[in-house]
Structure 1
Amino acid sequence: MKMKINKLKPLLGGLVNYFAAVALAVIFALFLSGRVGWFLVTAFVAAPVISVLMTLMFVRRIYVSCDADSVIMCKGDSCELTVNVTNGVFLPTPPVLADMSDLPSVTASEKHYSISVLPFDTESFTVCYKAVICGPAVIGVKSLRVSDYFGIFSFEIKSADISEMTYTVSVIPDIVRVNFSDPVVSRAAELSAFADDSEDTTDAPAGKFGGFPGYDSREYVPGDPLKRINWKQSAKRGKLLVRLDDETVSSAVSIVLDSVFDKESVFLPAVAAEGRFLGAENEALTALMAQDAIEHSLGITRAFIMQNYSVSYFLMGKNGWECFPAADENDLAALRTELASYSFLKTGTRFPEEELKNQKGSVSVFCTPYLDNALNEQLSSEAADGRGALQTVIYPSAVSPRVNSPKGGEAE
């Protein structure tokens, strides 16, 4: 309804102005000069027809192009879109009306523009777009029309292809600061310590940030911290062994970014009541939910890297699930660029079960914008079926991290 009202405003304004002009001409004819006055009345009555006919000349003789100075931005950055309007007729154009795309993720400085162009000339205007929320977004001209001189009627410009006047820009996500003590991270680390399925160790690289000395094994002595027990070696050798500070143990964890986010299934009042996105309008909530999952997945990845974990990051690509090994800040920078153009699907495979079987370790952190019923049922079904030994920690969690256990049921 709101869109219809907005479209009627120019029409109503043009009609009011037109009838006011006709009324003045009638008054002039009746009280001042009959001959001249009735000539003016006739001219005003015929003027809309003449105006429409002249406007129709421009429908195919106005040429519009646009150019964006950047298609990838960081949050908070801006890009400029320049729109060029060229008049191919020997008369000045009536108003050319351009409506610009404006999204919660990339906002336009102005949404509506009106411009007139002299004969065989070109006029330009510039729209500034600011990146607010990460991910892909479309900027450019949303609709383009030419109005008659009275502003009563408007027509689409036939010579302009709207699809050629839009650009998809990518907004690079930030990396949220996530501490290793975060409930989701600490729970995944705890599960990884007890579920490590290998004895692989690796020398600590000298230049790796967050590295610390690793461990070799010796026999357990009462008083040794339980967290340093090498459970795998202990089980194989029949006695408790603890790790020594000679080399780095390669603990493994997988980070999985949900591939599906059906925005229409989100109950927005419930999300707003959580208070995670204070001050956000309803139309921006789903975009912020998607951003939250992406940026926290990067923060969780960094938290594990800082503790010298072997991290595999999974996301849905054009050809299915893709794995990105993450070991340092360079890998995180590449991931940020990749995620700048990441789009969630409405339906599809949500968990890379087969791909994870080939990964070292048996713990994953599943980052989703929205823990909906379909995802809950899928994870519970996989747990009940006991497929594999994978345990999954879910982000976000309202109170404490939800863990999907392969033995059936859910653990908190």
Structure 2
Amino acid sequence: METARNIVGFLVCLGIAFILAYLISGSGGIFIGLLLIMASLISLILLFVSYATTEVSLSLPGDIVNKGDDFTARLDFNKKTILPSTFIDVSLKVTPNIQGEDSSLYYRVMCSGMHGECIEIPMKAVLCGGGEISVEKITFTDHMGMFRRTKKDLPAKCLIKIIPHIPDTGSQTDVLRSVSQNISFDDSDEESDETSSALTGVPGYEHRAYLPGDPLKRVNWKLSSKKDQLMVRLDEKVTSSSQIFRLDLPMNLSPDLISYQMMDISIEGSLAMLSMLIRSGYESEYNYFIEGKWEMADVSDEATLVQLQERLAGIVPYPKENRSPDHDINEKGKSMICFTACTGTMTNELAELTDSFDGLLVIVKESGIGALRNDMWTVSREFEFEKMV
């Protein structure tokens, strides 16, 4: 529309010049008309020169940031001629987990210096996971605003990894009990009437009331429910079983802020649960799809949890054909827990997921999904876990 208005304005001025030449001064009107035509030709030539000799590049100072941090993207305009460039319009595009200070992400520049120009663009990492910043369109417009050329070869997109937080949720007894029942001691072991099986020779285990600081992996949940108080076993036998995690991040056909929020809560919710299990003395195996393959991380302490946290900074939603793990992650009777970023509109994805594993399913509370099975939990934005009924 702007180009059309400029062309109409130019034609009106040209028409006025010829009217002037016809009615008032022939030489003066013709001179003005020729000046307008020459100006348009020079403007058109400079447009082609700028298009051919100006290169645009996009860069970032680094490829990894913490969630919530500010960073800067840089647009560089490099010239190969001393002539000033025409107007250059650049439109950027970012994934929903990145927010620009200028919401339009549209910039116009004219390179008058010999070495070109640069623009620094403030950005913020608002949600975790892999993010992209790309140049969507580059348009060269002549000085008179009548002609345009769009660049076909765009700069390479920039990838950035946004590190998720590990929320400190305290100890949420209900969800820990549900998760740990399958990986703690066999709850069929009753409390021994003897003070020590070693002294009496009678099989059994000594128990006492739970005290703050006792590892939850030693809680005998069956006995605790009978006595209506937490009871812990005092023997030294520790189970070798571990909790198996699976992270499910289905790709949305039209990625938007909501789908990235679901992914963000699912990732940080799983890290919150891993942190709770570590403090309770449990080890876990964490399965996720990244960089074209399924990976498994052993999480046994704070150091390995931080390593996983940094690795998940580059994770992106999974293509449909890669949602199912390519290896058996539910072998040897180990318990399973799956965090999914599915929403209520993803009926097919939900059906595929619920049919593909046995275990506990955790969804985002705001996902719009109802109770589909008995072993379902929700995680809120505050990372509070609640069993669905």
Query: Smaller-chain TM-score range?
Result: 0.7 to 0.9
2:348 corresponds to 1:374 = yes
Match of 2:277 among 304, 307, 315: 304
Paired residues of 1:106 and 1:133 also in contact (CA < 8 A): yes
Cα pair distance change 1:225/1:247, threshold 3 Å: farther
Q: Which residue of 2 aligns with 1:336?
A: 309
Counterpart Cα distance in 1 of 2:272 and 2:216: 23
2:250 pairs with 231, 255, 261, which one?
A: 261
The counterpart of 1:175, out of the listed 166, 190, 194, is 166
Query: Match of 2:257?
Result: 284
Deviates more, 1:374-383 or 1:170-179: 374-383
1:112 counterpart residue number: 106
1:56 maps to what in 2? 48
* Cα distance between partner residues in 2 of 1:32 and 1:332: 86
For residue 107 of structure 1, what is the amino acid of its counterpart? Q
SS in 2 for 1:139: strand
Change in Cα spacing, 1:252 to 1:180, as seen in structure 2 (3 Å) is: farther
The alignment's TM-score, normalised by the length of structure 2, stands at: 0.74
- 1:257 and 1:294 in contact (8 A); partners too: yes
Q: Aligned residue for 1:126?
A: 120
Q: Which moved more, 1:96-105 or 1:28-37?
A: 28-37
- Alignment partner of 1:362: what SS? coil
Structure 2 runs not aligned, ≥5 long: 190-212, 377-387
Query: Given that residues 87 and 108 in structure 2 are in contact (C-alpha distance below 8 angstroms), is that contact kept between their aligned partners in structure 1?
Result: yes
Asked whether 1:138 is paired with 2:128, we answer no
1:98 aligns with 90
- What fraction of aligned residue pairs are identical, expressed as a percent? 21
Q: 1:58 to 1:320 in 2, by over 3 A?
A: closer
| SS of 1:356 mapped into structure 2 | coil
State how 1:193-212 maps to structure 2 within 5 Å: 193=184, 212=215
- Kept in 2, the 8 Å contact 1:379–1:404? The answer is no
Shift of 1:107: 2.1
Q: What does residue 334 of structure 2 align with?
A: 362
In the alignment, is residue 325 of structure 1 matched against residue 295 of structure 2? no
Mapped pair 1:154 → 2:148: yes
Contact 2:58 2:155 in 1 (8 A): no
Distance 1:221 1:79 in 2: 51
Residue 189 (structure 1) aligned to one of 168, 180, 183: 180
Change (3 A) 1:179 1:157: same
Looking at structure 1, the residues matched to 264 and 124 of structure 2 have their Cα atoms a distance apart, in angstroms, of 16
**Separation of aligned partners in 2, 1:18 and 1:28:** 15
Q: Distance in 1 between matches of 2:214 and 2:6?
A: 71
- Cα distance change, pair 196–377 in 1 and its aligned pair in 2 (3 A): farther
- 1:171 positional shift: 0.8
Alignment of 1:199-278 (within 5 A): 212=215, 228=231, 243-244=233-234, 252-258=242-248, 260-264=249-253
Partner of 1:231: none
C-alpha offsets along residues 249-281 of structure 1, whole Å, 9 cap, x if unaligned? 5663111101x513138xxxxxxxxxxxxxxxx
* RMSD, aligned α-carbons: 3.8
**Pairing 1:23-34 to 2, within 5 Å after superposition:** 25=17, 29=21, 33-34=25-26
1:369 CA drift (Å) = 0.4
Cross-structure match for 1:205: none
Deviation at 1:346, TM superposition (A): 2.4
Native 8 Å contact 1:184 1:394 kept in 2: no
Check the 8 A contact 1:365/1:395 in 2, yes or no.
Answer: no
How many residues are aligned here?
346
SS of aligned partner of 2:256: helix
For structure 1, list consecutive stretches of 5 or more residues without a partner in the other structure. Answer: 1-7, 199-209, 229-241, 266-281, 384-389, 406-410
Aligned residue identity for 1:392: L
2:262 and 2:364 in contact (8 A); partners too: no
How many angstroms does 1:163 deviate by?
3.7
SS of equivalent to 2:329:
helix
- For residues 250 and 288 of structure 2, the distance between their equivalents in structure 1, rounded to whole angstroms, comes to 13
CA-to-partner distance for each residue in 1:295-344, whole Å, 9 max, x for gaps? Answer: 11111211221211121111124464321111222222111111111122
For the 8 Å contact 2:341–2:364, the answer to whether it is kept is yes
Q: Which amino acid aligns with 2:363?
A: Y
Q: CA deviation at 1:72?
A: 0.7
